[in-house]
Structure 1
Amino acid sequence: MLKIRSFFSGTLVLFSCLFASPHHLTAAESGEYIAIRKEGASKIALVLDRPDAKGRKESEWAGNIDAVIHEGLDFTNYFSVIAPPLNVKEIVDKETVRVNFSALNSVGAEVYAGGRVFEKSGKVTLDMEVFESAGGKSLLKKSYTGRKDELRSIGHAFCADLVELLTGKKSVFGSKIVFVSNKTGFKEIYECDFDGYGLEQLTNSKSITLTPALSPDGKYLAYTDFTAGRPSLYIRNLSDRKTSFVSKNGISIDPGWRGGSEVATTLSYEGDQEIYLVRPDGTVSRRVTNSKGIDVSPTFSPDGSKMAFVSSRNGLPQIFIQDIQSGEVKRLTFSGRYNTQPSWSPSGDKIAYTTWEKNGEINIFVINADGSSLRQLTRNAQENEAPSWSPDGEMIVFSSNRQGAKKLYVMSASGENQRRLLQVDGEQMQPFWSVFR
């Protein structure tokens, strides 16, 4: 029974891009999640019913939120959304609606989600309830509230809860992608939502800015800036917009965060191009690499204990892994003569990287952190570069010129479902998929 007026009283107020904590889920409160989808399994068969609404204004909100939820769930590639059967709901009285589970089972649905939209205290409120179709068990019952201009955030908050409930994993909802674009005639850094919406320009150097990287806590943006006539590392506090830079001679390029308190970058002030750790205020903490040849493109394991990077110490660029505490270095890649742009997965078990192949193509590969199970993700699509993992480790964003100019694309971690991310003038490149902020 879906009691229209008996949703639990805890109401989440959404502010801008803040999302609900997953621990507010009904199932999560008891330490459970519904593992309907396991890795390698087929998509979850979901009947997603448009939220009920009374009145023209509320009906318009419901339609907008319904579209946001559909688009968001489609982006995750977790779900096969089935149209609701005509008899999916039976009105018992003014306060009660009965879900027809027999109708759901007849169309092969595993999960049903529905609810209503209404105005309360000048805010938009979305009440949603999720059922397991086979047994009719209520899996989630929750309210989401926000301003009238926050319909997208309201819909995505529900999507985030639904994905975590059914998969046991954090989702991409609320995450950001930073990247470089020359849409203004200069290479500047931009930010957008995980699905390409909400485009915002972050730098206005009217010069060249490259290699953006957000700190894990989303507080700092590190990037390379050529305003001074040479590449220099800049670190911007995104809350107060204050910017620091590394005041060392020579170059400072290609940042990669180690936690939220240190960023690794390549510096040349001591002669050779080596990787150093730098504090957010721009001061150097310590030197990490020490070898002949160029060392660039640092990326860290989730616990910060190991660093993958590119080095020419053996000739052409290859990817190496260094233990931060002991300093021990091991070569990771042996297949491919020119391997660059490593990106460590959030789960810590895989590293994606770029290979420049003999036929002129640039392709993206994934390898286990121990050097096993090499897998090619892109092929026959010209130049594919700069892979970056989604925060849940389920997708990879990258740049490609497969349709002419460089644009951003996303694909599953297995290389499937490759598609264009956003429609923006000019070229887009060097994407970095951030944690939630």
Structure 2
Amino acid sequence: MYKTLSLAAAALFAFAPAAMLTAAPEPIVVTKTVRTNPTLYFQGVPGDGELTRQMRSFLGACGWFDLSGDPKAEYVLSGRRESGRAVFTLTTGGAPAGSWGIPLTGNSRRMAQQMVDAIIQNTFKELKVKGFCSTKIAFCAETASGVKNIYACDIDGGNVEQITNYNALCVEPCWFPDGKAIGYSKYNRTGIDVIETRLNPKRSRVLTAFRGINTGAAISPDGRNLTVILSPDHKVDLYVMPIGGRTPRRLTNSIAVEASPCWSPDGREIAFVSDETGVPKINIISADGRNRRVLKSVGSDAVTPDWSGDGKIVYATRVEGVYTIAVYDLKTGENTRITQEPGVWESPAWAADNRQVVCKRSDGRRSALYVIDSWTGKTRLLVSTPYNLSMPAWSRAGSR
């Protein structure tokens, strides 16, 4: 008899609880890192308190510098207003390390994002770090019982914007590669559809509305295809289809339940979760349905994977009955647990710098969004509200 998933169960779709799992957990690999951030002293922009404030916010949020109050820090950044421009100069050990100018547009927040991106890319150019201060984080907020809507914020947790406004469950947000649209699953009276909402101007369309469930959509890096979980024959399997197309192509076909797909950076492979082995594990399959394999993971299960641009998969895993966050390096085959703080950590997603990870953390009362530095294990609160927040997704491109 095929494994089925009712719509009610799909609304809270999760794999079996720890008490039902039979496989023994594998040892956790914790890799200690010696990486540390350089210190940076920011002198501010005389006569422009708002630009100074926004620069401090994004210099802190980017995670690539440790802000210092010591003028003898490794880097010193100064700013000034000059002939309708804001000019910033970076020095290290008294020697010039870069200088940038930007027109004074009146949008201090946008100016700070652009300037901090330029500083990151110049300072860490040997690491080929992408500027990501203009990217966005989408997430779900449960504003009432049975009601979740999609919101988005900047990387410092500011500029929160409501994206959807339905009296329904809107979950599993995913970004289009251009950062200008969000896909998500919307629960209706008769089923679950995948919707796309363009951000500016706001307009929406249905991407999939097949019989049964339509969940877990992920957009390919070229923006042409989506992978989605469908159940047209009461089996919950992985499909891929062109965006705007009507004929999905089946990639899996078994009694197992599949969930949470994500694309490789080159669009050739898809990682997803399957309980085919009896417990949820991360699988990788070619976009044409061949070469399926199971990844080695830590903990009793492995769920909600996300694939970085440099070949790492971050995922949530259950350790001693509590979810935590781990990273699998596809190049080395090593697993690293990146959270050590208490709480339940779930739904991780990479930033475009391949270093920062946003996730949901629950403390037993409510859930908020946090950012984890995968190099150092440091965490910072991103967004906390009276509502439960969940399922964050980090865009790879700016939305403006």
Is the TM value for this pair above 0.5? Answer: yes
CA distance in structure 2 between the partners assigned to 1:334 and 1:110 by the alignment: 38
Letter aligned with residue 139 of structure 1: G
TM-superposed deviation, 1:144: 3.2
Q: How much has 1:152 moved relative to structure 2?
A: 1.3
Match of 1:70 in 2: 56
Give the distance between the partners of 1:231 and 1:415, measured in 2 at CA.
Answer: 39
Match of 2:134 in 1: 174
Q: Secondary structure at the match of 1:66?
A: helix
The 3-state SS of whatever aligns with 1:72 is: helix
Once residues 173 and 195 of structure 1 are traced to their aligned partners in structure 2, the CA distance between those partners, rounded to angstroms, is: 9
1:299 to 262, 265, 268: 262
Q: What letter matches 2:206 in structure 1? A: S
Alignment of 1:228-307 (within 5 A): 228-240=189-201, 241-259=203-221, 260-281=223-244, 283-307=246-270
Match of 2:185 in 1: 224
The counterpart of 2:74, out of the listed 93, 105, 110, is 110
Residue 183 (1) aligns with residue 183 (2): no
State whether residues 339 and 377 of structure 2, in contact with CA within 8 Å, keep that contact through their aligned partners in structure 1. Answer: no
For residues 17-67 of structure 1, the C-alpha deviation after alignment (integer angstroms, 9 at most, x for no partner) is xxxxxxxxxxxxxxxxxxxxxx95432233322223xxxxxx2xx112112
| Contact 2:195/2:204 (<8 A) preserved | no
Query: In the alignment, does 2:99 pair up with 1:140?
Result: yes
Aligned equivalents of 2:188, 2:130: Cα separation in 1: 38
Q: Alpha-carbon deviations, 1:377-401, whole Å to 9, x = none?
A: 2246232110001111111111011
Of 64, 67, 80 in structure 2, the residue corresponding to residue 81 of structure 1 is 67
Alignment pair present for 1:350 and 2:344: no
The letter for the 1-side match of 2:140 is V
Alpha-carbon separation, structure 2, partners of 1:153 and 1:261: 29
1:113-161: CA deviation from partner (whole Å, max 9, x where unpaired): 22312674xxxx3122223434x335223233312xx111112221111
> Is 1:384 aligned with 2:345?
yes
- Check 1:218–1:283 CA distance in 2 against 1; reply closer, same or farther (3 A cut): farther
Offset, 1:75: 1.9
Please list the CA deviations of residues 249-298 of structure 1 after superposition, one character each: whole Å capped at 9, or x if unmatched: 11111112212111111011144211112333363342222333112111
Query: 282, 292, 295: which is aligned to 1:319?
Result: 282
Equivalent-residue separation in structure 2 for 1:415 and 1:296 (angstroms): 30
Given that 1:49 and 1:84 are in contact with CA atoms closer than 8 Å, whether structure 2 keeps it comes out as no
Report the equivalent of 1:423.
384
Provide the TM-score with structure 2 as the length reference. 0.83
- AA matched with 1:131: T
Matched, 1:127 2:87: yes
CA shift in 2, pair 1:377/1:44, >3 Å: closer
Given the superposition, is the C-alpha separation of residues 46 and 40 from structure 1 closer, same or farther in structure 2, using an over 3 Å criterion?
Answer: same
8 Å CA contact 2:193, 2:214 repeated in 1: yes
Greater C-alpha radius of gyration:
1
Q: Are 2:273 and 1:310 equivalent residues in the alignment? A: yes
Distance 1:252 1:387, change over 3 A: same
Distance 1:255 1:132, change over 3 A: same
Aligned residues: 360
Query: Unaligned regions of 5+ residues in structure 2, if any?
Result: 1-32
Percent identity over the alignment is 24
Q: Tell me the secondary structure at the aligned position of residue 117 of structure 2.
A: helix
Contact 1:114 1:130 (8 Å CA) reproduced: yes
Separation (CA, whole Å) in 1 of partners of 2:364 and 2:83: 45
Partner Cα distance (2:309, 2:165) in 1: 31
Alignment of 1:338-377 (within 5 A): 338-347=301-310, 349-357=311-319, 359-369=320-330, 372-377=333-338
**CA distance 1:208–1:138, shift in 2 (3 Å):** closer
The answer to whether the 8 A contact 2:251-2:289 is kept is no
CA distance in 1, matches of 2:362, 2:389: 10
* 1:69 aligned partner, one-letter code: M
* Aligned residue number for residue 160 of structure 1: 117
CA contact (8 A) 2:38 2:66 kept: yes
The unaligned stretches of length 5 or more in structure 1 are: 1-38, 53-58, 86-106
1:202 to 163, 184, 187: 163
**Counterparts of 2:260 and 2:133 in 1: how far apart (Å)?**
27
Task: Decide which moves more: 412-421 or 151-160.
Answer: 412-421
CA distance in 2, matches of 1:245, 1:263: 9
Structure 1 Cα separation of the partners of residues 297 and 55 of structure 2: 44
Contact 1:250 1:267 in 2 (8 A): yes
Q: 1:179 to 1:79 in 2, by over 3 A?
A: same
1:40-59 alignment runs, 5 A limit: 40-52=34-46, 59=47
Relative contact order: is structure 1 or structure 2 higher (C-alpha 8 Å, sep ≥ 6)?
A: 2
Shift of 1:346: 1.9
Per the alignment, residue 90 of structure 1 pairs with: none
